[in-house]
Chains A and B, each alone.
Chain A
Amino acid sequence: MNALPPRPILEVDDLSRHFVTKDFFGREQHRVRAVDNVSFTVAAGETLGLVGESGSGKSTTGRLVLRLDDPTAGQIRFEGQEITGLRKQSLRAMRTRMQVVFQDPFSSLNPRMRVGDAVGEPLRAHRLTKSRAEERDRVAELFQRVGLDPRFAERFPHQFSGGQRQRIGIARAIAVRPQLIVADEPITALDVSIQAQIVNLFMDLQEEMGVAYLFIAHDLAMVRHLCHRVAVMLRGRIVEMAPTEQLFADARHPYTQALISAMPIPDPDRELLRQRIFFDGKLPPPDAALEQVTPGHWVLAA
């Protein structure tokens, strides 16, 4: 069964973000291609996993999509609208449709603001509630929705554990009923016993609200569990992209193969038999392009 809705809500075309250092005379000295010619789409209600190691450009890609950073080149269309050139006012409207969940919810919460006010803030900012009473009701509903006691709304961020804070971050993100949530390593900092809770919550919310996720992570096991499709990044490029099971069953790019084979197996017997595939570290040639090997399965030609 494969129930992918057809129309993408996010379309990213040839997106690049280069960081250039210049010498005293303004001449280019060094160019880091943090994101280089990246293209992908996310359909409504779909989860696209973006995986790769540190420095692969996956987080930078997320920041570009959120318009927290400006691309060097390329286009991003969200719900059919080009958003790369948007100014502040039009971006504001977009932010009710696209939200973010960060790795460390603590750093994104104001320590002096009651968490109920923090969750209600986007509602006020976008004038989605008409009165304080309505906002309070809506916040209570959101707390319940993410599995927190609504009475906790009166507390401050430091009074919560990491898992609870991530729930607050998620409540804040879904307050405006977004169509897309960019989740940047949302479970990495959580205790193992809490990760499953948050992953389940992400899945439940998608089922109820039809929200799409751009799920940026490096834990391949969770990505496999949660994502419809996966894109693998290496040094700013997407080297392979496929429906999740296609990728795990038939990885074509040597880097993807190495990444999958490096996943430790939580079982001593099977771990003993695990065969590793080594990646020679060879970067894709600059002019390489993604080629479709089977429907929906793209590999960067070597």
Chain B
Amino acid sequence: MAPLLDVKDLTVRFDTPNGTVHAVSGVSYSLQAGETLAVVGESGSGKSVHVLAMVGLIPKPPGRVAAGQALFEGRDLLAMPEHELRRLRGGQIGMIFQDPMSSLNPVLTVGFQIMESLRTHLGLSKAAAKKRAIELLDLVGIPEPQRRIEQYPHQFSGGMRQRAMISIGIACNPKLLIADEPTTALDVTIQAQILDLVRGLRKQLGMAIIWITHDMGVVAGLADNVQVMYGGRIQERGPARAVFHDTRSAYTYGLLKSLPEHGAPGAVQDGTRKRLVQIPGYPPDMTNPPPGDPFAPRNPFATERCQAEVPPLVQAEGAAPGHMVAAWYDLRAARGAQA
């Protein structure tokens, strides 16, 4: 089956007065229809930028796509004229962001903003759009949708605003939903509700999702596949269970280990004062990225080759099919030797 999205060698640069930022370098992957892919990484990893670049939402200049293709149903998003891309965004490709206040227009009612999307992308009449907008607000769990569509964003609470934004994101039954840290700013109980909602909608609508996050807990509850990025490159990619339980990248391993063990008694209260496993050092300066594996300077398992040469992303040895890693070192052997 042809993938819904096929990204090939995507490379993004930002030209700034302090030098060229190597934001994304040679990222390739594909996404099947209906698949949920979690893209994990921290600031500067390229996790958001590579997706925004695909849908034409990075500022140019200073940003530019230096190389690559992003084939959406066979058509290259990166070569598409802006007016066609605009038709896709909000139509076939829905989007939700971390801060609903910055994507909702404060002077227009929530209902108007949903209806606008329905009318431009689906060509619905005003009456039909209104009916559908009410259905959508109901679908995302907003009570009294008839009354709510007349209200402005500031009259919604944080969680409700995020729901409203999701309703716009899914309004035109997108084949792909791009979610950029949509629950990061929310309280944990609200986050849990939003995740429930997305899991339900995914089943109902059969859409594929790219969920960008730094929270491994959210990943565990949502993703079919996980892609871990660091320094603008993919470090590891594979089925969620494989990445969590048969981790092959030292960076992924460090991320998982640096969290307090779930359910274990606290280190201070039980008197052990056990320290968390910490990844040494700091993220790289991406105007001057390391010549080899970007994680090598912080990686206790790094070999000389890691420092000098960028490792390719390849199927990991003895791992689940599709479980890929970019590493010159062998994490399992290195951990065995350490223990």
Query: Interface on A for B, CB 8 Å cutoff?
Result: 1-3, 47, 53-54, 161-164, 191-197, 199-200, 203-204, 207, 218, 220-222, 224-229, 243-245, 248, 258-259, 262-272, 274, 276, 279
* Chain B residues whose CB sits within 8 angstroms of the CB of A225 once the complex forms: 260, 266-268, 276
**Inter-chain pairs besides A228-B269, A265-B217, 13 sampled, C-beta below 8 Å:** A53-B188, A53-B189, A53-B190, A164-B282, A192-B259, A194-B282, A196-B258, A203-B273, A225-B276, A244-B265, A264-B221, A268-B223, A274-B221
Choose among B244, B256, B258 the residue that contacts A195 (Cβ–Cβ < 8 A). B258
Q: Who on chain B is nearest to A164 by CB?
A: B282
Are A218 and B278 within 8 A (Cβ)? Answer: no
* Chain A residues whose CB sits within 8 angstroms of the CB of B241 once the complex forms: 268-269
Are A2 and B271 within 8 A (Cβ)? Answer: yes
Q: Provided the pairs A164-B282, A203-B267, A221-B259 are in contact, do residues A271 and B217 lie with their beta carbons within 8 angstroms? A: yes
Is B287 positioned at the interface, with any CB of A under 8 Å from its CB? Answer: no
Q: Provided the pairs A191-B43, A218-B188, A262-B192 are in contact, do residues A226 and B266 lie with their beta carbons within 8 angstroms? A: yes
Q: Who on chain B is nearest to A1 by CB?
A: B271
* Chain B residues whose CB sits within 8 angstroms of the CB of A220 once the complex forms: 188
* Chain A residues whose CB sits within 8 angstroms of the CB of B282 once the complex forms: 161, 163-164, 194
* Chain B residues whose CB sits within 8 angstroms of the CB of A47 once the complex forms: 268
A229 to B266, CA, bound (A): 10
Q: Provided the pairs A203-B268, A228-B268, A268-B220 are in contact, do residues A54 and B258 lie with their beta carbons within 8 angstroms? A: no
Pairs A-B, 9 closest by C-beta atoms = A264-B217, A53-B187, A1-B271, A191-B42, A196-B258, A266-B216, A196-B276, A225-B260, A271-B220
Q: Give the Cβ gap from A59 to chain B, nearest Cβ, in Å.
A: 13
Q: Who on chain B is nearest to A46 by CB?
A: B268
A220 to B266, CA, bound (A): 11
A65 to B259, CA, bound (A): 30
* 19 A-B pairs in the complex with CB atoms less than 8 angstroms apart: A1-B271, A2-B269, A53-B188, A54-B187, A161-B282, A191-B283, A192-B258, A193-B278, A218-B188, A225-B268, A227-B266, A227-B268, A228-B268, A258-B189, A262-B191, A262-B192, A265-B263, A266-B262, A268-B223
Choose among A3, A164, A271 the residue that contacts B221 (Cβ–Cβ < 8 A). A271
A201 to B339, CA, bound (A): 25
Is B275 positioned at the interface, with any CB of A under 8 Å from its CB? Answer: yes
Q: Give the Cβ gap from A239 to chain B, nearest Cβ, in Å.
A: 14
A263 to B223, CA, bound (A): 17
A203 to B42, CA, bound (A): 24
Chain B interface main SS type = loop
Are A191 and B214 within 8 A (Cβ)? Answer: yes
A276 to B282, CA, bound (A): 36
Total interface residues on B, using CB and 8 Å?
47
Are A207 and B258 within 8 A (Cβ)? Answer: no
Q: Give the Cβ gap from B278 to chain A, nearest Cβ, in Å.
A: 4
Are B189 and A262 within 8 A (Cβ)? Answer: yes
* Chain B residues whose CB sits within 8 angstroms of the CB of A245 once the complex forms: 265-266, 269-270
A262 to B196, CA, bound (A): 11
* Chain A residues whose CB sits within 8 angstroms of the CB of B187 once the complex forms: 53-54, 218
Which residues 239-269 in B have Cβ within 8 Å of A in the complex? 240-241, 244-245, 254-256, 258-260, 262-263, 265-269
Q: Who on chain A is nearest to B298 by CB?
A: A193
* Chain B residues whose CB sits within 8 angstroms of the CB of A263 once the complex forms: 188, 217, 262
Are B266 and A192 within 8 A (Cβ)? Answer: no
Q: Give the Cβ gap from A260 to chain B, nearest Cβ, in Å.
A: 9
Q: Give the Cβ gap from B273 to chain A, nearest Cβ, in Å.
A: 6
Is B218 positioned at the interface, with any CB of A under 8 Å from its CB? Answer: yes
Are A161 and B283 within 8 A (Cβ)? Answer: yes
Are A226 and B267 within 8 A (Cβ)? Answer: yes
A258 to B270, CA, bound (A): 24
Are A244 and B269 within 8 A (Cβ)? Answer: yes
A243 to B218, CA, bound (A): 27
B222-246 CB contact bits vs A (8 Å, 1 = yes)? Answer: 0100000000000000001100110
* Chain B residues whose CB sits within 8 angstroms of the CB of A1 once the complex forms: 270-271
Is B215 positioned at the interface, with any CB of A under 8 Å from its CB? Answer: yes
B183-201 CB contact bits vs A (8 Å, 1 = yes)? Answer: 0000111111001000000
Are A200 and B278 within 8 A (Cβ)? Answer: yes
* Chain B residues whose CB sits within 8 angstroms of the CB of A194 once the complex forms: 279, 282
Are B42 and A192 within 8 A (Cβ)? Answer: yes
Are A199 and B276 within 8 A (Cβ)? Answer: yes
